[in-house]
């Protein structure tokens, strides 16, 4: 399909890899400071079931903000659009992902969208369950349906973030003050840091991207886990806000729905065609994988995958 082959992918990865030297590892989550800055891997999962990879595509990494797309799909299924969008908006922001500024200035103090931390915390707060374990297990079993493999979280990374997430705590208290978040903030932070520490490899991530590309349905079995309309909403957020405050430039240079995380992962979803999973932990100043973006740029140009 589209003449992608392993050798070509390997060449693209080797062309993109040197860009890693221009970036930096994420430093505000201590456990992520020890990643290998030169790592770069990709998997592509086509909807006909064919699968390509280059680099260490089986190396596990934590999803970080990529988990925000999956959590959004999950709570939209559980609660419906009306309730979810009473807690979080639909507009992009020009601010960094962890900014508190617009929560104060943008009345009625509602987080602008579910892809920035404030919005994602409001979304995670909607995950139903008796307690932390129950909420995590429900979320993990949903993720496991999309990957078709059991899902766990990296406890070291989750603890490391939990212990240092003072900014996210501030966002939560701000949101609680205005009624966009309910309940105990430490419990919410514990669930959110687990969700962000959800671990998978590029192959799994490409498969999740493929489910979104396939309107929420499994590319192999046809079974649908996400209603088409919800998959559409998630892909739209990926286009407008998925690459932080560089989403506009990414739309022009790459042009596919995608979501990045500060671990260096990127999930791409080319509608009706394939899912893409990338891992490259060297980040640019915005927080996106520097070599990962280069790789996507070359790939999408070569195969003409821009949706625009
Ligand atoms: N767990 C990270 C945080 O909340 C996720 C950020 C990201 O990947 O953008 O800061």
Query: How many whole angstroms from 161 Cα to the centroid of ligand 1?
Result: 9
Pocket test for ligand 1, best of 30, 119, 161 (most atoms within 8 A of CB): 161
pLDDT for 95 equals 87
Record the tokens describing residue 179, joined without a space: 């009624």
Query: How many whole angstroms from 119 Cα to the centroid of ligand 1?
Result: 12
Pocket test for ligand 1, best of 35, 64, 93, 114 (most atoms within 8 A of CB): 64
- Give a yes or no: residue 308 inside a domain: no
pLDDT for 2 equals 60
Helix, strand or coil for residue 216?
A: coil
Taking CA atoms only, the protein residue closest to ligand 1 atom 2 is 64
- For the residues of 29-56, what is the DSSP string, one character each? SGGGTTS-TT--EEEEEETTS-EEEESS
Query: How many whole angstroms from 115 Cα to the centroid of ligand 1?
Result: 10
Average pLDDT for runs of 10 along the chain of length 308: 83 98 96 96 96 96 98 98 97 88 89 96 98 98 97 98 97 96 98 98 98 97 97 98 95 98 98 98 97 98 97
- Give a yes or no: residue 87 inside a domain: yes
Residues 71 and 139 in one domain: yes
Last residue of a domain, one of 196, 226, 252: 196
User: Residues with beta carbon inside 6 Å of ligand 1?
Assistant: 64-65, 97-98, 117, 161, 168, 196, 261-262, 287
Burial pattern 6-29, b for ≥16 Cβ within 10 A else e, equals: eeebeebbeebbebbeebebbeeb
The CATH number covering residue 115 comes to 1.10.1500.10
Q: Which atom number of ligand 1 is nearest to the Cα of residue 117?
A: 4
The CATH number covering residue 56 comes to 3.40.710.10
Query: How many whole angstroms from 189 Cα to the centroid of ligand 1?
Result: 12
Taking CA atoms only, the protein residue closest to ligand 1 atom 7 is 65
Please check whether residue 245 is in contact with residue 93, taking contact to mean a CB–CB distance below 8 angstroms.
Answer: yes
Residues 154 and 221 in one domain: no
- Give a yes or no: residue 281 inside a domain: yes
Last residue of a domain, one of 149, 181, 196: 196
Closest by CA position to 303, among listed 266, 267, 270, 279: 270
Q: What is the set of active-site residues? A: 65, 68, 192, 244, 262
- Give a yes or no: residue 93 inside a domain: yes
Query: How many whole angstroms from 29 Cα to the centroid of ligand 1?
Result: 9
Last residue of a domain, one of 196, 218, 242: 196
Q: Looking at the 3D structure of the chain, how many domains does it have?
A: 2
| Structural domain span for residue 102 | 65-196
Angstrom distances, CA of residue 289 to CA of 15, 24, 40, 192: 15, 9, 9, 22
- Give a yes or no: residue 1 inside a domain: no
Residues 69 and 109 in one domain: yes
pTM: 0.97
């Amino acid at each position: 399909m589209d003449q992608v082959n392993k050798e070509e992918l390997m060449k693209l990865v080797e062309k993109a890899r040197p860009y890693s030297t221009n970036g930096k590892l994420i430093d505000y989550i201590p456990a992520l400071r020890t990643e290998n800055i030169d790592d770069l891997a990709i998997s592509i999962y086509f909807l006909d079931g064919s699968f390509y990879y280059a680099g260490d595509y089986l190396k596990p990494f934590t999803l970080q903000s990529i988990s925000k797309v999956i959590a959004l799909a999950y709570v939209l299924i559980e609660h419906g659009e009306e309730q979810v969008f009473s807690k979080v908006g639909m507009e992009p922001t020009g601010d960094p992902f962890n900014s508190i500024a617009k929560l104060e200035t943008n009345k009625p103090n509602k987080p602008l969208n579910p892809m920035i931390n404030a919005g994602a915390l409001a979304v995670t707060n909607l995950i139903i369950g008796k307690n932390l374990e129950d909420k995590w297990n429900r979320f993990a079993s949903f993720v496991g349906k999309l990957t078709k493999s059991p899902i766990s979280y990296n406890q070291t990374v989750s603890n490391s973030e939990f212990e240092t997430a003072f900014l996210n705590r501030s966002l939560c208290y701000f949101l609680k003050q205005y009624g966009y978040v309910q309940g105990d903030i430490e419990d919410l932070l514990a669930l959110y840091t687990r969700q962000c520490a959800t671990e998978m490899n590029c192959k799994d991530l490409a498969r999740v991207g493929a489910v979104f590309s396939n309107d929420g349905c499994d590319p192999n079995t046809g079974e649908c886990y996400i209603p088409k309309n919800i998959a559409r909403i998630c892909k739209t957020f990926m286009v407008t806000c998925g690459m932080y405050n560089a989403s506009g430039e990414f739309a022009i240079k790459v042009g596919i729905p995608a979501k990045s995380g500060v671990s260096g992962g990127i999930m791409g979803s080319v509608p009706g065609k394939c899912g893409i999973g990338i891992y490259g932990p060297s980040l640019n100043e915005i927080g996106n994988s520097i070599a990962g973006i280069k790789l996507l740029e070359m790939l999408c140009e070569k195969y003409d995958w821009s949706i625009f």
